[in-house]
Amino acid sequence: MPRAIALVLPILALLLAATTVQAQGKLSIDIFGPGQTKTNLMVAQPLPATNGQPLPRMAADMQAQIRDNLRFLPFLRQVASTEVIGGDRVEAPKAPGIDFKRFQLSRVDLLTTSAWTPGADGKASVAFRVYETFTGTMLFGQEYADIKPVHMPDIADSFCSRLMEVLTGRVGFFQSRLAFVRKDQSGKEIWVAGPTGYNARKITSLGGVNTSPAWSLDGKRLLFTHVAKTQHMLGMADMDTGKVQTVDLPGSSVISPTYMPDGRLAVTLDIEGQPNIYLLGRDWKPTGTPLAKSWSIDVSPSFDRAGRKMAFVSGRLGNPHIFVLDIPTGKVQRVTYEGKYNTNPTMSPDGNFVAFSRDTDVGHRIFVIDLRTGLERQVTFGPGFDEEPSFGPEGYFIAFSSSRSGIYKLYLTTRHGDEPVMLQTGSGEARAPSWTRGPN
């Protein structure tokens, strides 16, 4: 039986009625397995729910929006209409009126249809269905009522999130938000966008340099470093109220602030002369002994979702390398041994992987190390410099900044090293991506 669910669109603060119907377990994709193959998917042309009804103008735009979303999923290959006998138009929006045979012969694994019903005041309703073509089985269906064109990016995200969940068991990417640093005339400010870079909006207008954004686990707050004319300050943005504030901290430098999963703040301060990583209390003062301390630099803390592990950069053995602190025991383990400059670590939510940037003979590149085996894998190959990786909420995607286009932009790859896709964050340089963790 269908079950009603409430779909909250946080950007629009809009509540829509959504209905989901799902078939029992069929096709499944292991996105973390080795030797991943692509599943062929076609997004069919939209149809009216009732013959003779006009198609809303937004139907074709929604089809394009979903197709654009799906290009970020490397385990899917979108089949072009020219590859299918009879093209991408279906005879009906649902079985048994669909001729699955021609899609089978064209090696299409999954078929997505949409049926539209026009409404009043420019609104419309749409029912999406996803079929496994070789059996004609509907994997799931999802409906949205009373939508307007402004809702399309969020509807597309909701549908693609459900598709990813049904196929892989993971939902985080399309439900996440992305914070990053964008350069404009006033300086470098913090921006927030949807998961593929759309609807970017400016969060800070402080001038100067604002960098190193980091989300709280619930996605309601952002930390960052504000570099003023004479000092570094801790910056905080409340995503519900829009309030932005800065706080003076001890020492002259505030480097790479971040939230622990329990809401406590960790930040690198140079209180004793060299940068060490501290936890802050409610009074903004360091509590207890530093999480990481040495004669050299200790910077860039990154935590797993459980708050048991912290990856960080330290020069305690000479050149900057990546280390991991086991917080319950206090044991510190060095995890990188190659290269002379390893930085920008990001811990996967499950605590099993660390992605980082290494300065190689041909520029900075992103590497991923498996903490269980110690094996490294290079996942980006330029051109230009590839830096500042950030694990997505599912531990599969990695966002990073790259100068490969001539100026720094944000790109998306996976921990397997799939072909990077540029995120559409608008004009100007974009750097320092940070994902909300969200559900996994």
pLDDT attached to residue 228: 85
114 has a pLDDT exceeding 90: yes
Share of the chain above pLDDT 90, in %: 79
249 has a pLDDT exceeding 60: yes
The H-assigned helical ranges of 4-151 are 58-70, 101-105
Kindly state the average pLDDT of the residues 391-407.
95
Amino acid letter for position 312 = F
Band (pLDDT 50/70/90 cuts) for residue 35 is low
Distance CA 343, CA 366 (A): 10
Q: Is residue 313 classed as helix, strand or coil in its secondary structure?
A: strand
Place of tokens 């602190």: 325
Band (pLDDT 50/70/90 cuts) for residue 198 is confident
Band (pLDDT 50/70/90 cuts) for residue 34 is low
Residue 302 β-bridge partners: 311
List domains and CATH numbers for the chain. Answer: 3-168 (3.40.50.10070), 176-435 (2.120.10.30)
Q: Concatenated DSSP letters for 219-230?
A: SSEEEEEEE-SS
pLDDT attached to residue 30: 80
Residue 211 β-bridge partners: 225
Kindly state the average pLDDT of the residues 103-116.
96
Q: Is residue 290 classed as helix, strand or coil in its secondary structure?
A: coil
Kindly state the average pLDDT of the residues 397-421.
96
439 has a pLDDT exceeding 60: no
pLDDT attached to residue 185: 81
Per the model's pLDDT, the better-predicted residue between 185 and 239 turns out to be 239
| The two structure tokens encoding residue 115 | 């049926």
11 has a pLDDT exceeding 70: no
On average, the pLDDT of the chain sits at: 90
Band (pLDDT 50/70/90 cuts) for residue 16 is very low
Kindly state the average pLDDT of the residues 66-91.
94
Band (pLDDT 50/70/90 cuts) for residue 32 is confident
Distance CA 181, CA 194 (A): 14
166 has a pLDDT exceeding 50: yes
260 has a pLDDT exceeding 90: yes
H/E stretch holding 154 reads helix 152-168
The per-type count for the chain, helices as H runs and strands as E runs, is 3, 31
pLDDT attached to residue 3: 31
pLDDT attached to residue 427: 87
339 has a pLDDT exceeding 90: yes
Rg, C-alpha atoms of the chain: 23
Distance CA 431, CA 403 (A): 10
Contact 39, 27 (CB under 8 A): yes
